[in-house]
Structures are given as structure tokens and as C-alpha cells.
Structure 1
């Protein structure tokens, strides 16, 4: 397990923007349709904004209409953890970066049936997009 999980909150306040800190460390949610990565259609990898752990491939991204970037599966199931979330008088499943413990968003069972049936609804502020390198000609 990474020692990033044991870092004090002062470490995260210095590393993250105030908005990222609110989402990743305080389990906040950015307003729907406000995140820059919701509109991103480039090829590449979506990594954890807090630690750089690769999380989702652009190949798994789909348009859900939810207002947040949506993926049908993580790149590697070992890179995320799922936790029960009973906040706000409802039951949801929280998605967390396994490497650093950052809150990423939630997963729901209303994704594309032709693939996994899952919708990983992830905050743009919790992600760092790494574009695929252009192929040499």
C-alpha cells in the first residue's frame, strides 16, 4: 500500500488546488457539466489528479448525459477501491484511488448494457488527462 494514504492533510492542501482538495480529500462533487474533462474526446489516459495513478482509458469513456465524465470500467480494477456510501440519505458506491485514497466519484449500474453495464461517474477535478502520444509518420 502506498505511503500516500498516510500523508497529512497539509500535504494535500499544498499539492492540490482548493477545488481539487474539496473533491478528492473532502468527498465533494463538482457541479454537473462544469468539468473540462466532461467535454474531452481525445485519446489517452485519465489518471488520478492527486497521485498520477492511471485509472481510466479514453476507450472506456462514453456520453452518459450525467454531467460528469463517465466510463464503463477502470483500466485496472486493482487501481480503484469501491466503498459503500450512505451519505445524503441514499446508498451509493464510492470510487476511490487505491494508491492515495482520493475520492473520485461513484459507480452506478446504469451504464452501457453492451459492455459492463456500469457507469463510473467521475469528477473532472479528480482526474488528470494524459493524451496519447501522436504516432510517428
Structure 2
């Protein structure tokens, strides 16, 4: 048996914590909170417990944590465009359909409640696609 340390085939990426990723995380959080509240996930009679820190139900909280993890490990880092324009699909297929549903619902509604965040997200989307 060898006692040599094994190396992973995947290189560990450093966490992305810059301002661009921060803006994207804020946008995703706003969208998920808007979706969760808009679909009555926190209303009376709903069986899901509330996640206090983010103000969303457990399912939406899990989606938010997953989205933030994907952003923190994004291969394009601060040079990324919006996820909708990205050439790499880093979400698992089931999570991808969930986030698309959230974005379809919350995106148009953000214009009224968070106009500056929406405008900034639209401008970030004009960034050329990374290759």
C-alpha cells in the first residue's frame, strides 16, 4: 500500500468573493425571496419551516444555498456574464429548471421593487460571453 498523498483530478478553485459575484448573489437572493413569498411558501398553513436568515422556506433556502455555491465556484469569476448567457451549465438539470422557474417569475417583478438591481443585472448581461 502506498502512503503517498493522492491528488484530485479536479483542481480546487479559490472562492469568488469579488463585487461582481456579490452583485449576482444579491440578485439571486432577491429573486428567490420574491418567488418564495409570491407563491405563499411562508403563509399560514404552509408546512415548510422558515429559514430565518434569508426569509425563505426550506426548499427555497436550499436553492439559494446551491446558487450561491455555484457562484462562489464559477470558473469565470469576476469576468462572468449573467448565468442566462453563460456557455457553461454548471447547475444540475433539476436545479437548473428550478432556478429558471424562479427567474421567470421574479425577473419581471424586480423592475418595480428593485429597479437599480434590475438595471445593474441587465448591464452585467451585456458583458461579452466568456469563452
TM-score, normalisation: structure 2: 0.31
Q: Give the greater-gyration-radius structure (CA).
A: 2
TM-score, normalisation: structure 1: 0.30
Structure having the larger proportion of residues in strand: 1
Structure having the larger proportion of residues in helix: 2
